[in-house]
Structure 1
Amino acid sequence: MKLKNLFFILALGFVIFSCKKDDSTDVVFDAAAQSLLDDEALIEYLQTHYLNDVDGGIWTITNNETPLMGQVETQNITKNDISYKLYYLKENEGATVSPSRADSVLTTYTGMLLDSTVFDSRSSLTWLSLTKVIDGWSYGFTNFKGGDKIVNEDESFYFENSGKGILFIPSGLAYGNIGQIVIPANSPLVFQITLEDVNQSDDDNDSILSILEDIDQDGDVKNDDSDGDLIPDYLDIDDDNDGILTRDEDPNGDGNPLNDDTDNDGIPDYLDTDN
């Protein structure tokens, strides 16, 4: 079956942006069991659908076409001690650099449910931070690279050899058991994406790239809070809460607070309250 009509296309960002769980419910949800169900559903989808080379759409197999299952790669992800499998298909890897989960991406995309209902689509280029989207995006985009930027004489530009592919996301890396306006609870999602460009983000403008503020080096910058002020380091302009802005804790003046350790205790000044 080709993609259904765009019945429920949403405003930019509504679907892909992450949301907080509604804690008002007392129902115990078995996320581990749902992970297994999602994986079964995704495998069935991958076995019964193929990528149409003519129109780029995802169709139901009717005449021995090559199933998606034989073309995808698997990314194993652990979240809250639960294992998930994110499947992705690389139509083109891209030419430049891959984003980290703390970077921003210039992208176009179409998102749909497993029944082919399109719930969100963006055909014009837009920058999105991978710290503000569903986990399936923040992990999935790291498997691709940006394209080569070609600038015309009139300063207009376009991209060649961009990253392009499809993400097949279990609900636990999307919206879990919290339904959205047009996305039922516990819905695996499919996104056809392009990755045109990558911006290595410095979200708090403190002269340290956001990914370098991943102190525990687990790839997730949102769980690093050196001074315990409930503001993660990548958004905190004073990471050690000593009253001196992180970007000003650069005694050698090279613009990089990471390599300044005035008292030689192995802790850079911007994280050291006693320097």
Structure 2
Amino acid sequence: MKIKNLLIILAIFLFVFACGKDDDNYNEEDQALIDDEALVEYLQTHYLNEEDGGIWTIDAGQTPLMEQVDVDYIDYNDISYKLYYLSENEGATISPSTVDSVYTTYVGMLLDSTVFDIGSSLRWFSLTGTIPGWGYGFSNFKGGNIVVNDDESFYFEDYGKGILFIPSGLAYGNNEQGSIPKNANLIFEMTLQDVNRADQDLDLVPSFEEDLNNNRSMVDDDTDGDGAPNFIDSDDDGDGVLTKYEDINRDGNPMNDDTDGDGIPNYLDADDTESIEDL
């Protein structure tokens, strides 16, 4: 196994170990049900105030959030979750995958309205370095169209905007994180102004294209079974030829090269070992 991949896997293991559960009675599946009950109650008793854009407790028959949100059904670590999101504007361009980068502003809150983080200035975030709820939640929106001024400054219009209601299992779980307590469901008011497609292993295959089973998770796609998911594996089929060198027609896309015509692209087919270095 490549040293780079070993280091990545070790880093992931150490992170998971460090964030391990410190409560012997904690059960992720039970907590997911508890979280959903709490989120549903919150959505049924709160509304979006169109005047100030804030979330307020219903006191005069206002339309509850529950009637405005959509539900994203997510399987994560073999647990079923419901992530709720309210779309104020879908956006105009492309949606990010769970491993792309997003250009965003946000406000993070607890269900009791405590604000724990504010990102009022636009920043890029790689979704591989955020909570899973961001990766899945942002994928329901699209980026905006860039407008460049005469002085070369720019801004985005028609960008994604909404609110994510994230269960704790897709956030920090049974771990305290600063002012965020254990098992906290999180709310994020967010904008998605731009999306940057990632290619983590620089193999000419965009990382979102390496989700072969189309479940929006990249970590369970490992063609050669070497323990390194395809999106961080520069030799996806383990045939000794780097994926970027299996771009036989040299069009910058290894996904459309199939030398033996079996329907499997060379970079995923260990039987095809032809390389552009051989041509």
* Aligned equivalent of 2:224: 227
Query: 1:114-153 alignment to 2 at 5 Å?
Result: 114-153=111-150
Using the size of structure 2 for normalisation, the TM-score is 0.85
Tell me what 1:62 maps to: 59
Contact 2:97 2:139 (C-alpha < 8 Å) held by counterparts: yes
**Is the counterpart of residue 216 in structure 1 residue 216 in structure 2?**
no
Q: What residue is the counterpart of 1:41 in the other structure?
A: 38
> Which consecutive residues of structure 2, in runs of 5 or more, have no partner in the other structure?
1-14, 273-279
Give the match's secondary structure for 1:39. helix
For residues 236 and 260 of structure 2, what CA distance do their matches in structure 1 show? Answer: 18
Give the match for residue 8 of structure 2. none
Which is worse superposed, 57-66 or 246-255?
Answer: 57-66
Counterpart pick for 2:16 among 8, 11, 20: 20
> Structure 1-normalised TM-score?
0.86
Kept in 1, the 8 Å contact 2:21–2:174? The answer is no
Point out the more displaced range, 87-96 or 49-58. 49-58
Deviation at 1:102, TM superposition (A): 3.1
Q: How big is the alpha-carbon RMSD for the aligned residues of Structure 1 and Structure 2? A: 2.0
Matches within 5 A, 1:151-166: 151-166=148-163
Distance (whole Å) between structure 2 residues aligned to residue 203 and residue 269 of structure 1: 20
> What residue in structure 2 maps to residue 96 of structure 1?
93
Bigger drift between 113-122 and 240-249 goes to 240-249
Partner of 2:276 in structure 1? Answer: none
Q: Secondary structure at the match of 1:143?
A: coil
Q: Which residue of 2 aligns with 1:242?
A: 239
- Secondary structure of 1:123's counterpart equals strand
What is the number of equivalent residue pairs in this alignment?
257
Structure 2 partner of 1:203: 200
Distance between the aligned counterparts of 2:184 and 2:211, measured in 1?
30
Q: Call closer, same or farther: CA 1:137–1:49 in 2, change over 3 Å.
A: same
Shift of 1:108: 0.7
Distance 1:198 1:77 in 2: 22
Deviates more, 1:35-44 or 1:78-87: 78-87
Distance 1:42 1:26, change over 3 A: closer
Greater RCO between the two (CA within 8 Å, min separation 6)?
Answer: 1
Q: CA deviation at 1:192?
A: 0.3
Query: In structure 1, how many angstroms separate the alpha carbons of the residues matched to 2:20 and 2:40?
Result: 31
Distance 2:205 2:137 in 1: 24
* 1:270 corresponds to 2:267: yes
Q: Which amino acid aligns with 1:102?
A: V
Q: Quick one: which amino acid aligns to residue 191 of structure 2?
A: T
